[in-house]
Amino acid sequence: MKSPVRPLPFWSKLVLLVVITAAGLLWTGMAGMQERVVVLRMFLFFGSALIAFITPYLLFPDPAAPLMQLGNAGPSGLIRHLVRRVSVLLVSTLLFIAVICFGDIHAPINELAAKAIYFLHGSLFFSGLLFYSVIRYTRSGKSSQFWKESDKGKKLRSDLGEYFKYPIDPGAIPSFINTVVVGALGMIAVSAGAALYGSFGLIFELIPALILVAMAAVSFSKLSRDLPSNYYASTAFFNEFFGETVAGKEQEGKVEVFQLWWVPRPIKSHVWAMLLQLDRKFPAGRVLLAGHLLIWILSYQRPGDELMITAWLLFSLFHHIIIVISLSDQFSPAWFQRWIGSAAEWIFARIWIQFRWILILAVSMLFNSWIFGHVSYSAQAAVLLFYIGSATVISLVSHFYKNVYS
């Protein structure tokens, strides 16, 4: 059965191509080979965290699941469908890796062999880790349902609520484990590849990437035998998980309108509605706190200023995953947006949502520079301007993408 996921229209592909190419050239167009290698490693390091957190949101809940079930799609059809679900992320990332490796404005034909090896390394690494993550999340539905419905899960929910005063759905435990495993695996693989390069040479840095591809292949062979049951179980679980609300003594604190003093009045209701959904379903604060921790760990290693600036730029861009996630109909359906506001209001609302993280980002950079001596004040200001500019661009592109697909 053919996957019902619609491909991007031509103009969207063209815009994506131009934006990714321009970003890659702006970042590494004037860099030497060694700087490109550092940027690629940093990109893969943070890309590991991206894959770990965003995979379930790309895959589930799948609105096409009823059609796939009606068409009695087999394992091969479901595999093609899952690949289509993550294809935009995969193709965009491979294009960006290609620009990092080959976008050498000064010497485009120098060290082509090394550039090709690093492009192969980056492509295998990201593809292997992404598909390994897809497989883990696809087969997590059955265990998630067990923890959600079993007596063990109910007891765990009760214990956590009583002792830690924090409501946790036990069904989320497998997803949490997947997030930790996938993110840690990718970060360890980047570090191991750099160590192998330092000890044995360029070609040996490919080994961790090949291991990730092999792990994905082995996991796929195990999953393919009962892929339909795992796919539909995961779809059912995430559909229920993202669609439910907590009640009674498990009710979490909600953002109140009076707390949004920093939001302009014309878009305050839009921002409140979106934050209400995002805070209920996506733990953005915990995700970004983990990102700050990783940055500080990296800074403790005393890398150069250029590497730290690159890390802060990547991390500032990583914040805008929240904008991408907000496109889901689970957060803000297109009909709801058209009903209560104009295109301009929703674009500004998505931009303004990102302002709640900018003070934390600025303070973290400032204290980091005081303690470790990295990143000048002018560079910090440039990172914050990049943060605002990238939020604006991503909000614009996201809104038009949302309208095309809704």
DSSP line for 319-359: TTHHHHHTTSTTT--HHHHHHH--HHHHHHHHHHHGGGGHH
What pLDDT sits at residue 39?
Answer: 87
- Measure the CA–CA gap between 399 and 334, rounded to whole angstroms: 10
**Token pair recorded at residue 175:** 């997803």
What pLDDT sits at residue 268?
Answer: 77
- Measure the CA–CA gap between 356 and 347, rounded to whole angstroms: 16
What pLDDT sits at residue 35?
Answer: 87
What pLDDT sits at residue 297?
Answer: 74
Torsion of CA 14, 16, 20, 22, to 10 degrees: 50
What pLDDT sits at residue 253?
Answer: 46
What pLDDT sits at residue 62?
Answer: 84
How deeply is 256 buried, as exposed, middle or buried, from its count of CB atoms within 10 A (0-12, 13-18, 19+)? exposed
What pLDDT sits at residue 258?
Answer: 58
For the chain, residues with pLDDT lower than 50 are 162-166, 244-253
Decide if 123 contacts 213 (C-beta within 8 A).
no
What pLDDT sits at residue 115?
Answer: 94
Decide if 94 contacts 142 (C-beta within 8 A).
no
What pLDDT sits at residue 125?
Answer: 97
